[in-house]
Amino acid sequence: MTLPVLKNDRFLRALNRESVDMTPVWMMRQAGRYLPEYRASRKNAGSFMDLCRNAEFACEVTLQPLERYPLDAAILFSDILTIPDAMGMGLYFEAGEGPRFERPVRTAKDIEALPIPGAEDELGYVMNAVSTIRKALNGRVPLIGFAGSPWTLATYMVEGGSSRDFRLLKELMYKQPEVVHLLLDKLAESVTSYLNAQIKHGAQAIQIFDSWGGALSWPAYREFSLQYMQKIIDGLIRENEGRKVPVILFTKGGGLWLEDMAATGCDALGLDWTISMENARQRVGDKVALQGNMDPAVLYGSPESIRKEVKRILDDFGPHNGHVFNLGHGITPFVDPEHARVFIEAVHEFSAR
Ligand code: 1CP
């Protein structure tokens, strides 16, 4: 089967630090609860995991933000917790409380018993979604595949759900580091095969979400998060369909560690809003592209204040190649969809060469 040519490739070009006609933009969590059409699809599907497990529904919600806005990339609709779910941990969502696991893992015995899930078997529904979305996109924009970092997945698996302080995982890390390494090793292997399967099914770029790596000390970040993301990057398929498959590494709160993140061989770093784009570019801009970095809370402001902040960030990055505009973390359910439009259109308007 011959694939349609990519009509808009400025996202992939920017990740390769090539010239673009305007700065590409997408939003983390762009398909989600701030969109009324998403809430309707979720109701039709029955639950969040039903949306993920059904390729037609996953495709429908992936495309919803692209129907509304001139976004430059689509991101697979799924979740980072599909892997621990496929390991048999019993993922469920309590209304308004986020993800939970029926059987958290807290001992060496628990962790030894965890299987490495088959990317084409237990996780085959995700690959189905990737193929279905890629086909429906028909070359409109590139499709991003993703996974959580081993450290970030481990926080949910040990704590049993979301956490503020990661007390149980950190306690285990300082008392029995070898047990945590056993878990992270299994996760790195699972994530690598999962991401490679996404690439084979049509993902054209990959983002690794290390949402909670920033909660670690500098040495602990290297030992318990970065090391395992490095392993994943070393094992990923880097070229497919005759084109490079860029890898974006996003550690929220990782601004102090950019040099080491860039040394992993990734193609781009995702930045949160705590760092200046200019500073980040001077430190690592000859090695990797940069993605970011507007505070999602700016979208609560007025259209004028949103436009002003977009302009500031573009100026902060300056007239160089290698910028993908994004929020510094996911868009929240409370954002007015019209404000997301103002944001996306302002990026294109102010950056048009
Ligand atoms: O409808 C609902 O109530 C479910 C809300 C929801 C959604 C829309 C969850 C549960 N996951 C998702 C989709 C999702 N999750 C995507 C889809 C693609 C897109 O971006 O449009 C992606 C990339 C994720 C990734 C994800 N899930 C992360 C990493 C990114 C981040 O925000 O830091 C994390 C930490 C999760 C766990 C998770 N799943 C769902 C929620 C509400 C959470 C976060 C819980 C927490 O804050 O601890």
Relative orientation angle of helices 150-159 and 177-200, to the nearest 10 degrees: 120
Question: The whole model's pTM is what?
Answer: 0.97
CA distances from 147 to 77, 150, 304, 344, 350 (A): 11, 9, 35, 25, 32
Question: For this structure, is 33 an active site residue?
Answer: yes
For ligand 1, atom 15, the nearest C-alpha belongs to 79
Write down the pLDDT at residue 63. Answer: 98
What are the φ/ψ torsions at residue 235 (nearest 5 degrees)? -100, 0
**Buried/exposed code over 199-227 (b: 16+ C-beta within 10 A; e: otherwise):** bebbbbbbbbbbbbbbbbeeebbebbbbb
pLDDT per position as a tens digit, 299-348 = 999 999 999 999 999 999 999 999 999 999 999 999 999 999 999 999 99
CB 329 within 8 A of CB 296: yes
Which of 38, 54, 76, 80 has the most ligand 1 atoms within 8 A of CB, as the residue to mutate?
80
Write down the pLDDT at residue 3. Answer: 78
Write down the pLDDT at residue 1. Answer: 59
Residues in contact with 164: Cβ distance below 8 Å, sequence separation at least 6, in sequence order: none
Annotated domain spans of the chain:
10-351
Candidate list 69, 125, 156, 194, residue with the active-site label:
156
CB 143 within 8 A of CB 74: yes
Write down the pLDDT at residue 31. Answer: 97
- pLDDT band for position 96 (cuts 50, 70, 90): confident
CA distance 60 to 58: 6
- Confirm or reject: Cβ of 98 under 6 Å from ligand 1: yes
Residue 241 neighbours by CB distance under 10 Å? 10
pLDDT per position as a tens digit, 157-193 = 999 999 999 999 999 999 999 999 999 999 999 999 9
- Confirm or reject: Cβ of 42 under 6 Å from ligand 1: yes
CA distance 207 to 15: 12
Write down the pLDDT at residue 4. Answer: 86
Q: Looking up tokens 């498959």, which residue turns up?
A: 245
Per DSSP (E only), the strands in the chain are 74-75, 91-94, 98-101, 143-148, 205-210, 239-240, 243-244, 247-251, 268-270, 289-294, 323-327
Candidate list 72, 79, 210, 272, residue with the active-site label:
79
- pLDDT band for position 95 (cuts 50, 70, 90): confident
Question: For this structure, is 79 an active site residue?
Answer: yes
Question: For this structure, is 210 an active site residue?
Answer: no
How close is the Cα of 132 to the center of ligand 1, in Å?
Answer: 21
pLDDT per position as a tens digit, 20-71 = 999 999 999 999 999 999 999 999 999 999 999 999 999 999 999 999 999 9
Q: And the tokens for 78?
A: 């799924």
Atom of ligand 1 nearest to the CA of 209: 29
CA distance 257 to 203: 28
* Mean pLDDT, residues 244-257: 98
- Confirm or reject: Cβ of 64 under 6 Å from ligand 1: no
Atom of ligand 1 nearest to the CA of 51: 1
- Confirm or reject: Cβ of 29 under 6 Å from ligand 1: yes
Which of 26, 29, 61, 133 has the most ligand 1 atoms within 8 A of CB, as the residue to mutate?
29
Question: For this structure, is 222 an active site residue?
Answer: no
- Confirm or reject: Cβ of 279 under 6 Å from ligand 1: no
pLDDT per position as a tens digit, 179-188 = 999 999 999 9
How close is the Cα of 5 to the center of ligand 1, in Å?
Answer: 30
Percent of the chain's residues with pLDDT above 70: 99
What does CATH list as the number for 10-351?
3.20.20.210
Residues found in the chain: 353
pLDDT per position as a tens digit, 107-134 = 999 999 999 999 999 999 999 999 999 9
CA distances from 44 to 36, 50, 100 (A): 13, 9, 22
Q: Is 323 helix (H, G, I), strand (E, B) or coil?
A: strand
CA distances from 140 to 117, 132, 306, 344 (A): 32, 14, 27, 17
Write down the pLDDT at residue 311. Answer: 98
Write down the pLDDT at residue 206. Answer: 98
* Mean pLDDT, residues 199-228: 98
Residue from 205, 64, 63, 82 nearest 133 by CA: 63
- pLDDT band for position 215 (cuts 50, 70, 90): very high
Question: For this structure, is 281 an active site residue?
Answer: no
Neighbouring C-alpha atoms within 13 Å toward the C-beta of 251? 28
